[in-house]
Amino acid sequence: LTSNVAFASRAVLSKATMDKPVGENMTAQNLYGVLTIIAFTLSLPFALYYEGSGFAAAWKASTAVVGAPWLIRQMTLDGFYYYAYNEVAFIALNKVSPVTHSIANTIKRVCIILATVLVFGNKLSTLGAIGSSIAVAGTLAYSLAKSKFQ
């Protein structure tokens, strides 16, 4: 729930900035880049404080299993893919309303859950099935209401 609220809040505030850009060249891509730099700068002290003491031991244990070059490559690729995914999400947000974007994010999560059930054979609990059904029904209701009142 907290993740959805944070995601929706970021979408609404970012969309407001996209509609009235501050400065030159503040496209969706550049806005996401600036937000990422700010978030990194604000998060780094907390990460170092809470996780910094255990980093060396975790690094040593991980590189003993897979090797440093492989781990560095995988971490770099993971960071790149995550950044690219979020930048594409910002570009999409620039094209649609924040509500549509949040609905798409919700249905994306349901699709990921269903894919893990089908591909990896994960068990879907009764509560998970009910939650996924509610998300799909809500998406359908939103789409029908939007098409009726446009």
- The pair phi, psi for residue 115, each rounded to 5°, is -65, -40
What is residue 1's predicted lDDT score, i.e. its pLDDT? 65
| List of long-range contacts for 92-97, beta carbons under 8 Å, 24+ apart | 93/11, 93/14, 93/15, 93/18, 93/28, 94/15, 94/18, 94/27, 94/28, 97/15
Q: Of all residues in the chain, what percent carry a pLDDT higher than 70? A: 97
Tens digit of pLDDT for each residue in 44-74?
999 999 999 999 999 999 999 999 999 999 9
| Spatial distance between the Cα atoms of 43 and 74, rounded to a whole number of angstroms | 22
With a cut of 90, say whether residue 23 has pLDDT above it. Answer: no
Burial class (CB in 10 A: 0-12, 13-18, 19+), 32: buried
Tens digit of pLDDT for each residue in 104-145?
877 888 888 889 989 998 888 899 889 888 888 887 888 788
Q: What would the mean pLDDT of 18-25 be, rounded to a whole number?
A: 74
